[in-house]
Amino acid sequence: MLKGNGLCKNFGGVAALNDVDISLEKGSLIGLIGPNGAGKTTLFNAIAGAFSLSSGNLEFNGKSLNGKSANHICRLGIARTFQVPRPFAEMTCLENVLVPLVNRSRVGERTALLQEGREILDFVGLGNRDDILAKELNLVEKKRLEMARALCTNPQLLLLDEVLGGLNTQEIGAAVDLIVNLSEKRGIAVLWIEHVMGAIMGAAERIIVLDQGEKLMEGTPEEVAHDPRVIHAYLGA
């Protein structure tokens, strides 16, 4: 459903993405790993239309994404979370999820949307926080709100940027279950950036490894874990 060819993005002299190819199937769960500064978030920004590519082509369900605005891409069915959460701070949690709900292509009654919003907040574990201002949430809750909002766009493809950071072992387990559930039960394709290796290696079908803006390799978690290039990239020279 998502196809990217020769993706490049330069910031001044820095090549944050250099000739990256990517291809995702419907309902797949793909991990995206790589050392800090490898260009993972940049790839998300490019797919989600936060900025335009320096060169390369992106396609989603046969439609070109090049030059499309972020809100347009969202409506095509791609949702993303931000590595550093960006809640609507002065709005309640319920209002936060209401924003994507009222901007979906087919909008229903406000009461039905509010109901759906409450259910999704419940689903991510913010069930009792409906009327709390988003700025009052702690980091873990803010990450959950990111996820809830993204789900409210009704995505076919979900881009998750380090959603496990700051969670304890138990919470990680619950979050991983939730993500696996999204791809298996709801058929949502997930592209997932994570630093918590154990979690992502256990859950993802395939892993893409980025290093210094380039795609180092792609394979099953097994293959990736034993690849000398990956070990080298992570451990240094």
Partner 1 sequence: MKNTKVILACIIVGLFGILPLGLNVYQQHVMIVCLFYVMMSASWNLLAGYTGQVSFAHAAFAGIGAYTSGILAVKAGLSPWLGIPLGVLFAAVIGFGVGLLCLKMGGIYLSLTTLGVSEIFHIIINNEYEITRGTMGLQVPGLLVEYSKTGYFYIMLVTAIVSLLVIYWMIHSNIGLNFRAVQNDEKAAASLGVDVIRIRVLAFTVSSALAGLAGGVYGHYLLLITPEIPSLDQQFLVLSMTIIGGMGSFIGPIIGAFTLEILSEYIRGYGEYHVLVFGLIALSMARFAPNGVVGLVQAGWAKRSTS
Ligand X SMILES: Nc1ncnc2c1ncn2[C@@H]1O[C@H](COP(=O)(O)OP(=O)(O)O)[C@@H](O)[C@H]1O
Residues found near partner 1 in the complex (CB under 8 A): 48-50, 69-71, 74-75, 79-80, 82, 86-91, 95, 98-100, 102-104, 107, 149-150, 152-153
Q: Which pair of tokens denotes residue 46? A: 């490019």
CB of residue 83 to Mg ion, shortest distance in Å: 5
CB of 90 to partner 1, least distance (A): 6
Evaluate whether 93 touches 142 at the Cβ level (below 8 Å): no
Beta pairing, strands 63-64 & 214-219: unpaired
Closer to partner 1 by CB, 82 or 182: give it. Answer: 82
Please, which residue, 2 or 207, has the CB nearer to partner 1?
2
CB of 40 to Mg ion, least distance (A): 5
The correct pick among 2, 33, 39, 41 for binding Mg ion (CB under 5 A) is: 41
- Edge-first strand order for the sheet with 189-193 is 78-80, 157-161, 189-193, 29-33, 206-211, 214-219
Q: Can you list the alpha helix ranges (DSSP code H) found in 133-189?
A: 139-152, 169-185
From the list Mg ion, ligand X, partner 1, none, partner contacted by residue 150 (C-beta under 5 to 8 A by kind): partner 1
Taking alpha carbons only, the member of 176, 190, 173, 161 closest to residue 85 is 161
Q: For residues 34 and 40, is the Cβ–Cβ distance under 8 A?
A: yes
State which of positions 22-51 bind ligand X (CB under 6 A): 34, 36-42
Residues that bind ligand X (CB under 6 A): 11, 14, 16, 34, 36-42
